Amino acid sequence: MYPPRFEYEAPETVAEAVGLLVEGHGSAKVLAGGQSLIPMMKTRFASPEMLVDINGISDLEYHRRDADGSIRVGALCRHATLEQSQVLADHQPTMAAASALVADPIVRNRGTLVGSLCHADPQGDWAAVMASLGASVIAQGPTGERVIPVQEFAVGPFQNALAYDEIAVAAVVPPPKGKPEGGYLKMERRVGDFATAGVAVSLDRSAGGVARAGIALTGVGPRTIVAEEAAAILVERGLDPDSIAEAARAAAGAAQPKTDHRGTAEYKRHLVEVFTSRILKRIAGSSEEAA
């Protein structure tokens, strides 16, 4: 399958890229890893008149932890880079766990975290992970930058909050309010398939309690679901067998799964409960060992 015809531009700076988007006036689209956009173009779900390929903008190829503890991921940072990242292994367990489960190893060499957020697929792993962390997307347009919380960034399936002349240049995870702990689990029928269900948990732990909690769900609703009630239970009551069981039930209750070829709604809801409980039990167990 060939994609439809398009003009191709490969700018070397963000300013140049934004200029091209302004010129395109809604008919141009940014190409980063292309692992979702190119298949969408081949199947005619997308047919932009111009592609602005940002792969030549080397300034966007980074991820780092800043002095305040926040983590910043540039628009060209590939999944594979995050999978091998010492920064994430040391400081951000939820992202580290998810980075090895996105798509398959070959796709991970090309695809990017920020691109995955922009694609706004309710089945996207990173959307749930970044929502559980309370992360934001930095959008750059002709008049400067604005910060968009991940939860407001996906406005619908495959629709994001960017204006036509804006580029998502980075995603930022705010500094933790304690020791960051967490995990990501997903059920997939085979490597590279979309999630049957996925659960991202991120906790900031301090003084034996839970200072902040985030739980978000992949593939069990029309959009990434943030299980606020489940997270609130953990902040209020900390981690004990009862609070874990209750939070897991609340997370399953927040899911809005539909029966399809990947499984029944009941099955997917069950997966959410089991995954949530499994991640929380592991966190509780490891902190007992440490103490």
Q: Which is nearer to other proteins, 12 or 66 (CB)?
A: 12
- Give the total of residues touching other proteins (CB under 8 A): 29
The residue (of 115 and 257) whose beta carbon lies closer to other proteins is 115
Integer Cα distance of 82 and 98 in angstroms: 9
Q: What is the dihedral of CA 88, 237, 177, 170, to 10 degrees?
A: 50
Q: Which of 140, 138, 139, 116 is nearest to 128 (CA)?
A: 116
Q: Are 135 and 173 in contact (CB under 8 A)?
A: yes
Angle at 72 between CA 71 and CA 73, to 5 degrees: 125
Q: Between residues 3 and 253, which has the closer beta carbon with respect to other proteins?
A: 3
Q: Give the SS3 label for residue 274.
A: helix
184-223 mask for other proteins (x: CB under 8 A)?
-------xx-------------------------------
Q: Which amino acid is at 256?
A: Q
For the segment 79-108, give every residue that binds other proteins (CB under 8 A): 80, 103-107
Candidates 29-37, 61-69, 160-168, 274-282 — which segment interacts with other proteins by CB under 8 A? 29-37
Q: Which stretch binds other proteins (CB under 8 A): 38-46, 147-155, 200-208, 274-282?
A: 38-46
Using rule CB under 8 A, residue 61 touches other proteins: no
CB 82 within 8 A of CB 40: no
In the complex, the residues that contact other proteins under the rule CB under 8 A are 1-8, 10, 31, 34-35, 38-39, 42-43, 51, 53, 55, 80, 103-107, 109-110, 191-192
